[in-house]
Amino acid sequence: MQRLERTRSGRRTEAQHGLSARELRETLDEVGICTWSLDPANGRVAISENCHAILGVSARRLTDHDAFQAVVHPEDRAGRAAAVRGALEHGGRYNIEYRVCQADGAIRWVRSHGRAELGRGTRPTRFRGIVYCIDAHRRAEARLQRLQADLIHVSRLSAMGEMASALAHELNQPLGAISNYTTACDHFLSEPGNEQIEAARSALAAAARQAQRAGGIIRRLRDFVTRGETDRRSESVAGLLEDACDLALVGSRAQGVETRIDPGPPGIRVLADRVQIQQVLVNLIRNACEAMRDSACRNLAIVAAAQDDGSVCISVSDTGPGVAEAVAESLFLPFVTTKSTGMGVGLSVSRSIVQAHGGTFRVDSPATGGATFHFTLPAAED
């Protein structure tokens, strides 16, 4: 439709925001994407000028496959060669990561997407792709792994606190990359042509991978919290509530929070991993206290009750403003937060823990106001 409009009027409409080849190249340069093509007939490579910033070699030197291989880290050459060979022999795409060695001895990680199109026969007619640097992401991953290894040695609760700030930092990188890729996509799609659509697809795929990476960071946090042998035993509900409150209510009295704890009938017990359920209670109690910060009335109630179905329900209620409408639907998804410094992982991690115990997790908005979070655990004998 847009094309027709353009042909008729002979000029670009405002809505098209068409990109010239130069603008397209500049956009790719801006987001750090290097494009290349290889002519299967003579093996010659043409590569964009920004390859110097990414691969550390000028476009003049990267004239063929061998010249390209020479900058690849020796340990990664065979993998790259196999990917290229596979695409050339059978057509199709590849998507690989490898290291490049720069003249000054520095090593950088890059990701490369290639696509070979087969002609009528079995011989490829076109072979092209993109390369971009993922060095910062790789370093961030390595740092995250080191961080996790260190955190194993500290208690889970303080680890959660430390991890939160480190993760917020780590998450900025994939989120920044997603923003760059989608901006580039917007440019490509404003004047759809085969090449632009292909480039937009690659940028979208890269954005999706970054989103998965961000999700992966959260998954790792969840793994950390729920990792290892879960040590489920028969635990006294009164003892669980008492311990969790000791941890979570530090300083709450000074904030004017009135707390009521009702552990239910005497001797009531659940089958639970004590540390993990404390983690859930601490998350809920801290959220409740934070929610009531600006409320005139600050009442917190932590109540346990035996259910007919053989489970025990534990509820945490507050007199805050209740769950904001904007997040009500997606409350248990990671990253959902209304707090300026929030991570939005507490509820998603808590729900995973409860579900792993075979329980359920839900939130209520009582008519009297505030929010009530309920979770169930299987009841246990002595």
**Which residues contact ligand ADP (rule: CB under 6 A)?**
283, 287-288, 291, 318, 320, 322-324, 327, 331, 336-339, 342-348, 371
Would you say the C-alpha torsion 190, 195, 198, 200 has a positive or negative sign?
A: negative
Say if CB 360 and CB 354 are below 8 A apart: yes
* Structure tokens that stand for 218 in this block: 């959260």
CB of 21 vs ligand ADP, minimal distance in Å:
46
Query: Which residue lies nearer to ligand ADP by CB, 93 or 222?
Result: 222
Q: Counting every residue, how long is the chain?
A: 382
Neighbours of 130 (CB within 10 A): 21
Query: Which residue lies nearer to ligand ADP by CB, 152 or 324?
Result: 324
Distance CA 219, CA 240 (A): 26
Q: What are phi and psi of 299, to 5 degrees?
A: -110, 130
- The residues, ordered by sequence, that sit 6+ positions from 21 with a Cβ below 8 Å of its Cβ are none
Distance CA 118, CA 87 (A): 9
CB of 284 vs ligand ADP, minimal distance in Å:
7
CB of 351 vs ligand ADP, minimal distance in Å:
9
Closest CA to 315 of 331, 299, 332, 302: 302
CB of 264 vs ligand ADP, minimal distance in Å:
21
CB of 166 vs ligand ADP, minimal distance in Å:
15
CB of 270 vs ligand ADP, minimal distance in Å:
22
CB of 369 vs ligand ADP, minimal distance in Å:
10
Say if CB 304 and CB 262 are below 8 A apart: yes
CB of 374 vs ligand ADP, minimal distance in Å:
12
- The one-character DSSP state at 153 is T
Query: Which residue lies nearer to ligand ADP by CB, 171 or 204?
Result: 171
Query: Which residue lies nearer to ligand ADP by CB, 128 or 298?
Result: 298
Bridge partners of 372, per DSSP, are 317, 364
CB of 260 vs ligand ADP, minimal distance in Å:
16
* Structure tokens that stand for 366 in this block: 């009582």
Question: Which residue lies nearest ligand ADP, judged by its C-beta?
Answer: 346
Distance CA 59, CA 56 (A): 10
Query: Which residue lies nearer to ligand ADP by CB, 128 or 374?
Result: 374
Query: Which residue lies nearer to ligand ADP by CB, 159 or 291?
Result: 291
Query: Which residue lies nearer to ligand ADP by CB, 199 or 221?
Result: 221
Query: Which residue lies nearer to ligand ADP by CB, 180 or 348?
Result: 348
Q: What are the start-end ranges of the E strands in the chain?
A: 33-39, 44-47, 92-101, 107-118, 124-133, 232-236, 258-262, 269-273, 299-306, 311-317, 361-364, 372-378
Q: Quickly tell me which residue has 């000054």 as its tokens.
A: 104
Say if CB 51 and CB 131 are below 8 A apart: yes
Query: Which residue lies nearer to ligand ADP by CB, 38 or 241?
Result: 241
